Amino acid sequence: MGDYVNPEDGSSKEIWLQNNGERKSIVHHTFKDCPEHQLPVILMDNGPFTAAGICSNEHDWDVKTLPHDTRPKELYFVDKDKLKPFMRRT
C-alpha cells in the first residue's frame, strides 16, 4: 500500500505539501530527478478525497504514475526528514 502524507495538525495534504515541498512538473520529472535528500510525493485527486503518496523507491513511483491512470496528479519533492513522521517504521 505504501506510505502517505496525512497531517495530524488539522492542515490539509494540499496545504502541507505547499508549505513543505517543492512543486514540480510530473510530466517532466522521474524518480531519479529527485535530489538524494528528498523524496517525491504525488498528490492524487480521487474525487471525494485526495491522497499524497510518498514514493520511497522507483517501484512506488511506477505504481503511482501508471500511464493509464488518468486521475489528476501533482508532484512535490519533499525533504526526507519532513516525511519521517508519515513513514512506517520497519
Instruction: Render pLDDT for 4-33 as a digit per residue (tens, 0 to 9).
Output: 999 999 899 999 999 999 999 998 999 999
pTM given for the model: 0.93
The 10 Å Cβ neighbour count of residue 40 is 25
Instruction: Render pLDDT for 47-73 as a digit per residue (tens, 0 to 9).
Output: 999 999 999 999 999 999 999 999 999
Q: How far apart are CA 35 and CA 79, in angstroms?
A: 9
Q: What residue ranges do the domains of the chain occupy?
A: 3-86
DSSP, residue by residue, 39-90: EEEEEEE-SSSEEEEE--SHHHHHHHT-TT--S-EEEEEEEHHHHGGGSPP-
User: Hey, which residues does 36 pair with through a beta bridge?
Assistant: none
38: DSSP letter: E
